[in-house]
Structure 1
Amino acid sequence: MHIKTIDSVTTLGCSTWNALVGGGYPFLRYEFLQALEESQATCTDSGWQPCHLVAYIDDQPQALMPLFIKDHSYGEYVFDWSWADAYHRAGFPYYPKLVTATPFTPATGPRLCIASDSSLDEHAVAAQFFAAVQQLAKQTKASSWHCLFPQLEVAQQFNKLGLSLRQACQFHWFNQDFTHFDDFLATFSSRKRKNLRKERQKIGQQGIELRRVEGTDVSAEDWQRFYQFYQLTYLKRSGHDGYLNQQFFELIGRNLGDALMMAQAYAGDEMVAAALFFKSDTHLYGRYWGCLEEFDGLHFEACYYQGIEYAIAQGLQCFDPGAQGEHKIQRGFTPTATWSNHWMAEPRFHTAIEDFTRREQPSIEAYMAEAATLLPFKQEP
Structure 2
Amino acid sequence: MSELTVSVLPAISGIDAALWDGCGAGGNPFTTHRFLSALEASGSVGEGTGWHPSHLVARLDGQVAGVAPCYLKTHSQGEYIFDHAWAQAYERAGGRYYPKLQCAVPFTPASGPRLIAAEPQVQAALLQAMAQVARQSGLSGAHVTFCTEAEARLGEAAGFLPRASEQFHWLNRGYGSFEDFLAQLSARKRKAIRKERERAQAFGGSIRSLTGDQIRPAHWDAFWTFYQDTGGRKWGRPYLTRAFFDILHQTMRDDCLLVLAERDGRPVAGALNLIGREALYGRYWGCTEDHPFLHFELCYHRAIDWAIAQGIPRVEAGAQGEHKLARGYLPTQTHSLHWVRDEGFHRAITDYLERERAAVGEELALLAEMGPFRRGALSP
TM-score (norm. length: structure 2): 0.96
Measured at CA, do residues 3 and 238 of structure 1 come closer, stay the same or move farther in structure 2, by a change above 3 Å? closer
The aligned residue for residue 367 of structure 1 is 363
Deviation at 1:129, TM superposition (A): 2.1
1:159-208 Cα distance to aligned partner (Å, 9 max, x none)? 01111111011000000100110000001111111111110001232213
Deviation at 1:40, TM superposition (A): 1.1
Rounded Cα–Cα distance in structure 2 between residues aligned with 1:238 and 1:147: 22
Report if aligned partners of 1:69, 1:98 keep a CA contact under 8 Å in 2: yes
Q: Which runs of 5+ in 2 are unaligned?
A: none
Measured at CA, do residues 265 and 66 of structure 1 come closer, stay the same or move farther in structure 2, by a change above 3 Å? same
Moved more, 230-239 or 320-329: 230-239
Rounded Cα–Cα distance in structure 1 between residues aligned with 2:172 and 2:218: 33
Structure 1 residue aligned with 2:115, among 112, 116, 128?
Answer: 112
Moved more, 54-63 or 15-24: 15-24
Runs ≥4 residues deviating over 4 A: none
Measured at CA, do residues 303 and 138 of structure 1 come closer, stay the same or move farther in structure 2, by a change above 3 Å? same
Matched ranges for 1:154-169 at <5 A? 154-169=151-166
Rounded Cα–Cα distance in structure 2 between residues aligned with 1:182 and 1:157: 41
Matched ranges for 1:309-328 at <5 A? 309-328=305-324
Report if aligned partners of 1:76, 1:103 keep a CA contact under 8 Å in 2: yes
The aligned residue for residue 201 of structure 1 is 198
Is the counterpart of residue 103 in structure 1 residue 106 in structure 2?
yes
The aligned residue for residue 118 of structure 1 is none
The aligned residue for residue 58 of structure 2 is 55
Letter in 1 for 2:246: E
Measured at CA, do residues 376 and 23 of structure 1 come closer, stay the same or move farther in structure 2, by a change above 3 Å? closer
TM-score (norm. length: structure 1): 0.95
Letter in 2 for 1:84: A
Is the counterpart of residue 146 in structure 1 residue 143 in structure 2?
yes
Aligned-pair RMSD on alpha carbons? 1.3
Rounded Cα–Cα distance in structure 2 between residues aligned with 1:23 and 1:34: 18
Structure 2 residue aligned with 1:244, among 240, 243, 256?
Answer: 240
The aligned residue for residue 376 of structure 2 is 380
Structure 1 residue aligned with 2:258, among 251, 262, 266?
Answer: 262
Rounded Cα–Cα distance in structure 2 between residues aligned with 1:217 and 1:11: 32
Structure 2 residue aligned with 1:92, among 84, 92, 95?
Answer: 95
Letter in 2 for 1:323: A
Report if aligned partners of 2:170, 2:330 keep a CA contact under 8 Å in 1: yes
Deviation at 1:216, TM superposition (A): 3.0
Deviation at 1:352, TM superposition (A): 1.0
Matched ranges for 1:216-295 at <5 A? 216-240=213-237, 242-295=238-291
Rounded Cα–Cα distance in structure 1 between residues aligned with 2:148 and 2:272: 23
1:238-264 Cα distance to aligned partner (Å, 9 max, x none)? 432x10011001101110112111001
The aligned residue for residue 68 of structure 1 is 71
Report if aligned partners of 1:203, 1:209 keep a CA contact under 8 Å in 2: no
Moved more, 175-184 or 216-225: 216-225
Report if aligned partners of 1:159, 1:165 keep a CA contact under 8 Å in 2: yes
1:83-130 Cα distance to aligned partner (Å, 9 max, x none)? 001100110000000011111001110111125xxxxx40x2233223
Structure 2 residue aligned with 1:347, among 343, 350, 353?
Answer: 343
Task: Describe the SS at the equivalent of 1:371.
Answer: helix
Rounded Cα–Cα distance in structure 1 between residues aligned with 2:131 and 2:316: 32
Letter in 2 for 1:185: L
Rounded Cα–Cα distance in structure 1 between residues aligned with 2:247 and 2:173: 35
The aligned residue for residue 189 of structure 1 is 186
How many residue pairs align between the two structures?
Answer: 374
1:132-176 Cα distance to aligned partner (Å, 9 max, x none)? 222211333210111001100011100011111110110000001
Rounded Cα–Cα distance in structure 2 between residues aligned with 1:376 and 1:306: 18
Matched ranges for 1:17-56 at <5 A? 17-22=20-25, 24-56=27-59
Alignment identity in percent?
40
Rounded Cα–Cα distance in structure 2 between residues aligned with 1:18 and 1:129: 16
Letter in 2 for 1:28: T
Report if aligned partners of 1:99, 1:145 keep a CA contact under 8 Å in 2: yes
Report if aligned partners of 2:72, 2:101 keep a CA contact under 8 Å in 1: yes
Letter in 2 for 1:35: A
Report if aligned partners of 1:73, 1:80 keep a CA contact under 8 Å in 2: yes
Rounded Cα–Cα distance in structure 1 between residues aligned with 2:161 and 2:59: 28
Report if aligned partners of 1:96, 1:140 keep a CA contact under 8 Å in 2: no
Rounded Cα–Cα distance in structure 1 between residues aligned with 2:214 and 2:347: 52
Task: Describe the SS at the equivalent of 1:236.
Answer: helix
Deviation at 1:23, TM superposition (A): 6.2
Rounded Cα–Cα distance in structure 1 between residues aligned with 2:153 and 2:281: 24
Task: Describe the SS at the equivalent of 2:82.
Answer: coil
